[in-house]
Amino acid sequence: MSLEIQDNEVDIVIAALQPNLTALFEAWRPFFSRFHIIVVKDPDLAEELQIPSGFDLKVYTKSDIGVLGATSIDFSGHSCRYFGYLVSRKKYVISIDHNCLPAKDNGGLTVDAVSQHMSNLKTPATPKFFNTLYDPFREGADFVRGYPFSWRDGVECMLSCGLWLHNADYDPMTHVVKRNQRNTAYVDAVMTVPYGVMMPMSGINVAFNREVLGPVMAPALRLRKEGKHRWDTLEDVWNGMCAKVVCDSLGYGVKTGLPYVIRSDAEAGEALESLKEWEGVKVMDAVHPFFKSLELSGNATTVEDCIKELTSIVRKELGPKNAIFAKAVDAMEEWTKLWKSHGIHSA
Amino acid sequence: MSLEIQDNEVDIVIAALQPNLTALFEAWRPFFSRFHIIVVKDPDLAEELQIPSGFDLKVYTKSDIGVLGATSIDFSGHSCRYFGYLVSRKKYVISIDHNCLPAKDNGGLTVDAVSQHMSNLKTPATPKFFNTLYDPFREGADFVRGYPFSWRDGVECMLSCGLWLHNADYDPMTHVVKRNQRNTAYVDAVMTVPYGVMMPMSGINVAFNREVLGPVMAPALRLRKEGKHRWDTLEDVWNGMCAKVVCDSLGYGVKTGLPYVIRSDAEAGEALESLKEWEGVKVMDAVHPFFKSLELSGNATTVEDCIKELTSIVRKELGPKNAIFAKAVDAMEEWTKLWKSHGIHSA
């Protein structure tokens, strides 16, 4: 990728759910060191953070979050990263979980996840029609025979969802059932998720255009007993579906695939503990059919207007099914206000 | 893949557009030799076919096609393979172009395209929701967190579209513009094309459930000046979109990705000659928006009924735009009759 990335157009956001970030920062040093890094410390975490020197970095803690005043949004656990999205002043944000290290590609080269995410965001997405040879803008690729010429310009990509080697992002059931399974398949592809198609976005390794999508990138859906493991959460999956609906409505693109990161081991025993109280199956059984049939009117021309429409539909259709959906809508509405007061402007 | 394939459930169909098939058959011998092979000779080809011995094989020629009597369907050129679909008596059909040889995977192993296509067809497809780790039924893979449990059973896969290394399946414009570009990216993935999403199917390397999809696998759309190169044709692209619409309506799946084959060089000079008279851009500019907005009523419960509904819509909406669409509808209707009289029954 010969794509040019300006240092001042990207922030890296790291959610600190555990104190020792030394291994994380040392492993990512070659790729992170030119960028500003926002570390948001889980407000539930008491210990001091350990971060090696040599980075342009700012740590935000419970007291910084407190500046927002009374808010219905819960920034604890994995949701603390969203505070970083709010205080960033850059056009793009990249967020990678604390237990993820750089992966190697099929040729043994270490993957620069920053560069790959930026390439995904800066080259067009093609959501109207599926290109069988995957990303047509990749070097050596193109649109195949039969791909409509009038759709080859594509649209702007707003969201880039990366993947994970070794420990895949499974729900607690799958972690328990397949406790020894590790993902070793490095699939060398990026693809646009077509219009109208929903996918479960993972917040583990993700990048987006903050200027445009910021108002919808909120920690809205929280399970009642949410722990500190990824499998405890669905906030990112919900967020991804909201973002996808908004992108579909406004004519923006969403990509998935490269870059991979390597995720450290899950502990199946802990997954079993989570599972005992996990309401995720029940919740998502309501969420999926809802999003499957959801289509915004197309009248909204801004992300904010799309959210207004979306929250009103969610409140009406999902609200009565489970109190956590009403809470999610509250959080989304609160977020758009926070975005106006504390977010918005890029550098 | 430890999948069991019965010799008597698959026919390999080869369209002979050039007489010497020696290299083709020798290269594929390890994978083709246990299956019955149907070779259909292009009715325009005068020379004797050269085929090595040691195969369970039947050659069909112009005179066999003549047995159908007067028909509006033109079986010349790449369309001759469809005669093979008609006379096959097997549940599944695999068709690979004469200029394609087995590819090697990223580990250097020669790819058994038959086995991969059968695996695609015999494991479920998941068209309701996108799984970010691709085919969840592949060894070592699964559904990711957030993928709805109630949709994890998937649906039956009816169509498997394979890909091509070296000489990719481009239109004549792209062949001319990128005359030296070769596809070297072996993307180790199979994915379901989601419901409602259209893709340009290539007939170069394809497999399908003949028992179910046969009535829609017709050579219907022919460009007025159709030559003997793939880039001269759109019959497979049209066929693929019809098949996709039918599968979407009946709740069946379509997959794309593995297996790859290696395709021999295109000659850019010849592509330039084709280009001078190529009406494909114009035609597809009408076709794509049509299929993009097309949705069958959902009342049809068989492939035949879907085709009735589809042909009536095509005749009304596309018919007035270009005479080749009216001809395509005629051919599709004729094909359903031929299928009843000459096709249908599996072994």
Handedness of CA A300, A305, A307, A313 (dihedral sign): negative
Using 50, 70 and 90 to split pLDDT, how confident is the model at B2? low
Nearest to A202 among B145, B149, B194 (CB): B145
The burial class, CB within 10 Å (0-12 / 13-18 / 19+), for B217 is: buried
Chain B neighbors of A187, CB-CB under 8 A: 134, 187-189
CB within 8 Å: A174 and B145: yes
- Contact residues for A90 (Cβ-Cβ < 8 A; gap 6+): A8, A9, A10, A11, A36, A210, A346, A347
The per-residue pLDDT for range B334-345, each reduced to its tens digit, is 999 999 998 866
The per-residue pLDDT for range B119-156, each reduced to its tens digit, is 999 999 999 999 999 999 999 999 999 999 889 999 99
CB within 8 Å: A148 and B194: no
pLDDT the model gives residue B204: 97
Distance CA A211, CA A121 (A): 13
Distance CA A284, CA A172 (A): 14
Chain A neighbors of B171, CB-CB under 8 A: 145-146
Answer whether A268 touches B (CB < 8 Å): no
Question: Please, are residues A57 and A51 in contact by the beta-carbon 8 Å criterion?
Answer: yes
Distance CA A329, CA A320 (A): 12
Answer whether A7 touches B (CB < 8 Å): no
- And the tokens for B334? 């004729």
Q: Residue B159 phi/psi, 5° resolution?
A: -145, 130
- Portion 160-179 of B in contact with A at CB < 8 A: 161, 163, 168-171, 174, 178
With CA atoms as reference, report the closest residue to A58 among A13, A25, A26, A9.
Answer: A13
The per-residue pLDDT for range B4-20, each reduced to its tens digit, is 899 999 999 999 999 99
The per-residue pLDDT for range B157-182, each reduced to its tens digit, is 999 999 999 999 999 889 888 888 89
With CA atoms as reference, report the closest residue to A80 among A116, A35, A113, A42.
Answer: A42
The per-residue pLDDT for range B187-208, each reduced to its tens digit, is 999 999 999 999 999 999 999 9
Per DSSP (E only), the strands in chain B are: 10-16, 36-41, 56-60, 92-96, 100-102, 157-166, 190-192, 205-209, 253-263
Answer whether A292 touches B (CB < 8 Å): yes
Using 50, 70 and 90 to split pLDDT, how confident is the model at B347? very low
Three-state SS string over B249-296 comes to HHCCEEEEEEEEEEECCCCHHHHHHHHHCCCHHHHHHHHHHHHHHCCC
Answer whether A286 touches B (CB < 8 Å): no
Q: What is the average per-residue pLDDT within B294-317? A: 95
Q: What is the average per-residue pLDDT within B248-253? A: 97
Using 50, 70 and 90 to split pLDDT, how confident is the model at B266? confident
- And the tokens for A146? 């039969």
- And the tokens for B45? 């080809």
Give the relative orientation of helices B235-250 and B303-317 as an angle to the nearest 10 degrees: 120
3-state secondary structure of B329: helix
Q: What are the helix (H) ranges across chain A? A: 22-32, 62-66, 81-87, 113-122, 172-177, 210-213, 235-250, 268-276, 280-293, 303-317, 323-342
Gap from A134 CA to chain B (nearest CA, Å) = 9
Using 50, 70 and 90 to split pLDDT, how confident is the model at B277? confident
CB within 8 Å: A141 and B185: yes
Q: Percent of chain B having pLDDT more than 70?
A: 98
Q: Closest residue of B to A127, CA-based? A: B197
Instruction: Mutate one of A132, A169, A226, A261 to test the B interface: name it (highest B CB count within 10 A).
Output: A132
Using 50, 70 and 90 to split pLDDT, how confident is the model at B280? confident
Chain B neighbors of A197, CB-CB under 8 A: 129-130, 194, 196-197
Gap from B118 CA to chain A (nearest CA, Å) = 19
CB within 8 Å: A140 and B183: yes
Domain spans in chain B, listed from the N-terminal domain onward: 99-209+217-343
The per-residue pLDDT for range A186-241, each reduced to its tens digit, is 999 999 999 999 999 999 999 999 999 999 999 999 988 888 999 889 999 999 99
Is 0.80 topped by the overall pTM?
A: yes
Chain A neighbors of B187, CB-CB under 8 A: 134, 187-189
Element (H, E) at A261: strand A253-263
Q: What is the mean pLDDT of chain B?
A: 94
Distance CA A256, CA A189 (A): 9
Handedness of CA A270, A271, A274, A275 (dihedral sign): negative
Handedness of CA A125, A130, A134, A136 (dihedral sign): negative
pLDDT the model gives residue B43: 97
CB within 8 Å: B170 and A196: no
Q: What are the helix (H) ranges across A91-161? A: 113-122
Gap from B143 CA to chain A (nearest CA, Å) = 7
Q: How confident is the prediction along chain A (347 residues), in pLDDT tens digits per residue?
A: 457 899 999 999 999 999 999 999 999 999 999 999 999 999 999 999 999 999 999 999 999 999 999 898 999 999 999 999 999 999 999 999 999 999 999 999 999 999 999 999 999 999 999 999 999 999 999 999 999 988 999 999 999 999 999 999 999 889 888 888 899 999 999 999 999 999 999 999 999 999 999 999 999 999 888 889 998 899 999 999 999 999 999 999 999 999 999 999 777 778 888 787 788 888 888 899 999 889 899 999 999 999 999 999 999 999 999 999 999 999 999 999 999 998 876 54
